[in-house]
Amino acid sequence: MDSIGHGEKSLLLLLASDFDTLDIPKIPLRPADGFWLEIADSVKPGEHCRNRHSDEYSRMIKALGYFIEIIRGILITSRHFFVNMFFHILKVVGIKTKRKGAVTIQYPEQKKEIASRHRSLHRLVPNQDGKPRCVACMLCATVCPSECIYIEAAEDPKLEMQKYPSKFIIDIGRCCFCGFCVEACPEDAIRMDTGNIELAGYTRDDLIYDLDKLLK
């Protein structure tokens, strides 16, 4: 019997007259606590259809919410358009109202007037001789939260106990336009009333303003 191969054993087993079901080993099954088996067993016939319908309903509700927001945006835009058009028509007719319609300014050909308190690009106030009024007290550089002001002081040979800035540099790229330097200056030597708000450059060096630029 030891010389009989596996295939011959199977053939003898099938041809045996006293064949019993207990002689065949049972097919091994996965345990009941296997991964996700409890969920698969819990699904009842027709339940997957109900889940599919609920997913479709949720997608429909979400799409409806998007559609409502689109309609809402169109209504807001239309309201602004017709309200502005109404006030412009009243102005053309000659009826004065407290409220005015919104006007689109064709920038940069047209520029809106800037308020007098607006903090724009810095400038140094010169004396009558053309030199800056600054006495290099370092208060503006000290109070600056961005640390964008650099000053080098030098002694003025004409006046005793008088200093002037040999270097006065402001890095506009770091400036936050808080106006602390203007408020801290005791000589009113630095101001932010140029009205220049078009600050741009191709490099960082273009945003560094020295004495020559600040005195213009």
How far apart CA 47 and CA 41 sit, in angstroms, is 12
In sequence order, which residues have a C-beta less than 8 Å from that of residue 19 and are 6 or more positions away? Answer: 13
What integer pLDDT is reported at residue 11 of this predicted model?
A: 46
Considering only CA atoms, which of 150, 114, 133 is closest in space to residue 185?
133
What integer pLDDT is reported at residue 38 of this predicted model?
A: 47
Q: Is the pLDDT of residue 2 over 70?
A: no
Q: Six-digit token pair at 185?
A: 């200056």
Q: Tell me the per-residue pLDDT of 45-91, one tens digit each, with 9 for 90 and over.
A: 555 556 666 777 788 888 888 999 999 999 999 999 999 999 889 88
Residue with tokens 């936050």: 176
Q: Tell me the per-residue pLDDT of 192-203, one tens digit each, with 9 for 90 and over.
A: 999 898 888 899
Burial class (CB in 10 A: 0-12, 13-18, 19+), 189: buried
SS3 5: coil
φ/ψ (deg, to 5) at 204: -65, -30
What integer pLDDT is reported at residue 62 of this predicted model?
A: 84
Query: Which domains are seen in the chain, by residue range?
Result: 34-103 (no CATH), 123-214 (3.30.70.3270)
How far apart CA 16 and CA 103 sit, in angstroms, is 103
What integer pLDDT is reported at residue 13 of this predicted model?
A: 47
The CB density around residue 177, as the number of other CB atoms within 10 Å, is: 16
Sign of CA dihedral 33, 37, 43, 45: negative
In sequence order, which residues have a C-beta less than 8 Å from that of residue 140 and are 6 or more positions away? Answer: 149, 151, 180, 181, 184, 185, 190
pLDDT grade for 183, boundaries at 50, 70 and 90: very high
How far apart CA 32 and CA 144 sit, in angstroms, is 72
Q: Tell me the per-residue pLDDT of 90-139, one tens digit each, with 9 for 90 and over.
A: 888 888 888 888 878 888 888 888 888 899 999 999 988 888 999 999 99
How far apart CA 96 and CA 77 sit, in angstroms, is 25
What integer pLDDT is reported at residue 188 of this predicted model?
A: 93
How far apart CA 216 and CA 213 sit, in angstroms, is 5
The structure's pTM equals 0.55
How far apart CA 49 and CA 45 sit, in angstroms, is 9
What integer pLDDT is reported at residue 28 of this predicted model?
A: 54
**H or E element in which residue 170 lies:** strand 163-171
φ/ψ (deg, to 5) at 155: -85, 140
Higher model confidence: residue 216 or residue 1? Answer: 216
The CB density around residue 175, as the number of other CB atoms within 10 Å, is: 22
Q: Six-digit token pair at 186?
A: 């005791």
